[in-house]
Structure 1
């Protein structure tokens, strides 16, 4: 019998990405698309037995920073090994295009400060064989990858591209500058960018402490960018808000953008301890905007924002202390040996952090609770699990306990700190899953190589949150697939139905778990990054090609640049197959 399909996934429990109840069926794939879902009699060139397993759409991660990594690497880890089949880059107003000759180093220094990517990695890895944003897209179009990838034009590089040194020095734009920025946004979106991205977050700085060019800009400049979307007739405005500001003021800016341009707005919804009421104000603002016919979406992490600390990572609680500088660049074994010296230990414990960036000093000083990451890791820490609580039980100074914990496992210990208490956050966020305009995201894959490893949020959501606090599997899958895809205009994916893109996951949910993050020196110039493995991914499929089998890369690279938004092939019909 001749084959009728390129791939058949047989007998799996389909969780189709629409939020409807699971059902058992086969999935037939041909020419990169799902062509049939049901009881299939035809055969496939390749077949996967999914009996007893779960079949979902591929996951869509709309908040990543793979802008540089995509130019030197073909695998977008640590996202693609966690079921992600589409990523969106260019977030938070930073990136590498557009850029004029002579400004390459400035873009590198900006990404180093904002996204914790080592300067040497970018200097060796990013080719900068482009100037305009359409040029950058032309370069990306030549890349082959294990996921599909799309991007947005970032505000900070655009500002410097248009204004030169005045833009980098945070000077106000002229009217001609605003006209040119608006034109560049429209040009980028017409060439295939999904939108434009900015940041108002005061944490976003150069490593020297100087603010990123976008951060202090006035609303008229932000509106000029957004009006470029109006001119292009499509696109989304993405923004990281000023977390020190009142949420009502930030939402007023987002409403102005949405009302003025008619375009959707996506922003980073982050719970910060400095004003817990802001979280609720943002959510109420999203709901009110929806009631008023505006599309403003909040991207939130399924667990609190966390920072990882270790002797081999970007930071640890003592790394900004003056006496640490002499050993900061040593190999780990030598560093551990030095840190075991009683005299250096006493000095470091007594010293306070000192750094040109107030953001990083504030990050270290604001640590209130630290937790050891074990293997496997669930992130469901309670206050009594913290090193601070351990110090209290032992009657020891907490800085001594933290210092000694960093030296565990020959200095490979990883300690985690979170922006807010974990269990209350899980309670607060439980009601958000499945709600329109509230989207799990903020994994930041491709950035913060040595301090954050949140890109595995997809695996965390499925392995740790489903079944907890009322979250059901269909809602969780929808929040990882069709919901984020549609929020950026990629409606051709995220659903298991005929006509949709054949991006799929075959999952063993009973076996799914997260391993402890590990540091690897596999970036350009020997740069280090955190990676995180998992179990439970039987297969991941992109455009009908299997990219991962049982967590191991197959070598297939079917992923390509996505230029512009995509329409849904059709609204999926209700399932007519046997209930799971």
Structure 2
């Protein structure tokens, strides 16, 4: 047998959660041919001594719907060992699309997912109208990763209902939407997604579909059922309980498939997540597949002088200098009279949510040059200001001016009420949950959770000090076999004979996250928060090396994956 690649002597963590072992892997034509000791010499030999050899990460919650049309690297996800991404989440996306509805869809994505509208306008070429045509357009570009698409509710409503997209759908509207959902799934979409949260809005108001009647959702679930496959993904303020409880059960019954929804520890009801997990387990016993989708660290807003939100963002002094280069802003803010003026001002917004988020001093922390996403309560701005006898705003300003104005404050949006990750650990380890919510490609000006896959190893396996760690086998399983199975991907997520050769080689000792940074490389000079990592020695996609030591090789074997 002649192998294209032989990976020798690595610690193989196969993705199943089973024990790791030191052995070899042989690859032929992009597929794993052998897992075991291999005497033959391969065309390419890779020495994996002292390295972890794991499946490529499967990230099921991203928003690359626009970016995949212009970016063959699909970064930053590909920098973090991700080899498969699922996009189209939370009910927003770009297909189907009326020729006169492009601006509306861009404004929705900009409002909900904080992706610069200028980048979307300049980057998307709109070579489609229907969802099948969108899939065809996405399929034309070779990439470093495989991409899977879902049909989003907001785009669907805008296409069928036009200017009425925010209102109640007629029976005819629902029938048309159901037919389009079925068409999309038959063409290769992996699911249907919707948003039912007040947190998702644009300048037009809440996302279309937020207040859709249950009958509409059930009709769309029936369409998924008729197609015979497809995940039904949603985000809701009720997080699987209350009004959601019966709805989720009926959606699962109608689709015959997986219902996945966002679950986090809510400040309104800090223990509700435990009940949601119990409900998912109960329904599993009834043969229904409810998969609460959970994070491996709290969804984290990053406050900095270049981000979309920070405690001074609506103060007059900051508003006046907002268009200045960062270096000039920093120089001005270091002048005593300017600093004094800023600290004497108050926020000019009347938005209660913004005011609350910008001054939750017990939930705002210095991120640090070595990012700390599990800080103790004693490191909160509230605690630091109290210890120093200073006003929190005064302390915050000092931190914002560190690193020449490039430093960040970490402000967990949810899931950090107990000042540790124990609730998250319980969620991740629950048999019915699935790890996701990285939001790769989204929240460009405020959140950088795209590094979740790396964090699962760098923090949970080797770095955590404030509670129990995960085993290496657990952490790999959570983002390989588990996530692949949630979307019916039986050809990847496990290192076994016959599976796709999507593989990471990782120096676990050296694996670490770098500080987030704001860069301006999107079309039109649009900004985005990114985060690099050290420790990825090699990423292999379908048998081709796509990254070596964090740098792209130029190989782009990734493709659009269509559902069966």
Give the TM-score taking structure 2 as reference length. Answer: 0.95
Deviations 1:40-65, CA, capped at 9 Å, x for gaps: 12222222101121111111000000
> Quick check: 2:265–2:416 contact (8 Å CA) kept in 1?
no
Match of 2:158 in 1: 160
Q: 1:60·1:485 contact (CA, 8 Å) conserved in 2?
A: yes
Are positions 1:264 and 2:258 aligned together? yes
Residue 219 of structure 1: aligned partner: 214
Q: Within 5 Å, give how 1:273-312 maps onto structure 2.
A: 273-312=267-306
Match of 2:187 in 1: 191
The verdict on how the C-alpha distance between 1:215 and 1:323 changes in structure 2, with shifts beyond 3 A counting, is farther
Match of 1:120 among 118, 121, 133: 118
Counterpart of 1:464 (choices 459, 466, 472) is 459
State the SS of the aligned residue for 1:455.
helix
Residue pair 2:363, 2:411 contacting (<8 A) in 1 also: yes
Show CA shifts across 1:298-336 (max 9, x none).
Answer: 111111111001111222111133443332222212222
Residues 465-474 or 326-335, more deviating:
465-474
Give the CA RMSD over aligned residues.
1.9
Match of 1:35 among 33, 36, 45: 33
1:574 corresponds in structure 2 to none
Q: Is the 8 A contact 1:98 1:161 kept in 2?
A: yes
1:407 counterpart (387, 401, 408)? 401
2:557 is paired with a residue of what secondary structure? Answer: coil
Mapped to 1, the partners of 2:343 and 2:215 lie a distance apart of 48
Whether the 8 Å CA contact 1:433–1:475 is kept in 2: the answer is no
**Do the aligned partners of 2:314 and 2:348 also contact (CA within 8 Å) in 1?**
yes
Pick from 173, 189, 213 the counterpart of residue 177 of structure 1: 173
Residue 411 of structure 1: how far off its partner (Å): 1.0
| Preserved contact between residue 209 and residue 356 of structure 1 (Cα < 8 Å) | no
Aligned-partner Cα distance in 2 for 1:354–1:264: 45
In structure 2, relative to structure 1, the CA distance for the partners of 1:32 and 1:17 (3 Å cut) is same
1:303 touches 1:425 (CA, 8 Å); kept in 2? no
1:209 offset after TM fit, Å?
Answer: 6.7
Q: Give the conservation status (yes or no) of the 8 Å contact 2:361–2:382.
A: no
Q: Is 1:149 aligned with 2:143?
A: no
1:404: how far off? 2.4
Segments of 5+ residues of structure 2 without an aligned counterpart are none
1:491-548 residue CA offsets vs partner (Å, 9 max, x unmatched) = 1100000000100011111111111111111111111111111111111110001111
Are 2:295 and 2:428, in contact at CA under 8 Å, matched by a contact in 1? no
Q: Offset of 1:342 from its aligned partner?
A: 4.8
CA separation in 1, counterparts of 2:507 and 2:218?
A: 46
Query: Counterpart of 2:43 in 1: which secondary structure?
Result: strand
- For residues 380-414 of structure 1, what are the alpha-carbon distances to aligned partners after superposition, in whole Å with 9 as ceiling and x for unaligned? 21111122211111101111111222112221111
Matches for 1:366-515 after TM superposition, within 5 Å: 366=360, 368-418=362-412, 419-421=414-416, 424-466=419-461, 469=468, 471-515=470-514
Which portions of structure 1, spanning 4 or more consecutive aligned residues, are displaced by more than 6 angstroms? Answer: none
**Residues 380, 422 of structure 1: 8 Å contact kept:** no
Determine the structure 2 residue equivalent to 1:534.
533
Tell me how far apart the structure 1 counterparts of residues 274 and 410 of structure 2 sit (CA, whole Å): 25
SS at match of 1:456: helix
What is the CA distance between 1:261 and its match in structure 2?
A: 2.6
Cross-structure match for 1:47? 45
Structure 1 counterpart of 2:65, from 64, 67, 72: 67
The answer on whether the counterparts of 1:267 and 1:297 sit within 8 Å (CA) in structure 2 is yes
1:358 Cα deviation after fit: 6.0
Asked if the contact 1:54/1:507 (under 8 Å) is kept, the reply is yes
Alpha-carbon displacement from aligned partner over 1:78-114 (angstroms, at most 9, x marks no partner): 2111111100000000011111011111111111110
SS at match of 1:326: helix
Q: Decide whether the 8 Å contact of 1:310 with 1:413 is kept in 2.
A: yes
Give the whole-Å Cα distance in 1 for the aligned partners of 2:558 and 2:186: 21
- Greater shift after overlay, 421-430 or 263-272? 421-430
Q: Is 1:553 matched with 2:548? A: no
Counterpart residue number, 1:318: 312
Distance 1:345 1:385, change over 3 A: same
Which structure 1 segments of 5+ residues have no match? Answer: 566-580
Displacement, 1:272?
A: 2.1
C-alpha separation in 1, matches of 2:328 and 2:204:
30
The 1:38–1:486 alpha-carbon spacing in structure 2 relative to 1, beyond 3 Å, is: same
Aligned mates of 1:112, 1:282 — CA distance in 2: 30
1:52 and 1:404 mapped to 2: Cα distance?
42
Aligned length: 559
2:362–2:383 contact (8 Å) kept in structure 1: no
State how far apart, in whole Å, the 2-side matches of 1:271 and 1:127 are. Answer: 39
Residue 337 of structure 1 corresponds to which residue in structure 2? 331
Q: Distance in 2 between matches of 1:362 and 1:380?
A: 21
Residue 367 of structure 1 contacts residue 417 of structure 1 at CA under 8 Å; is this kept in 2?
Answer: no
Task: Indicate the SS of the match to 2:157.
Answer: helix
2:91 corresponds to: 93
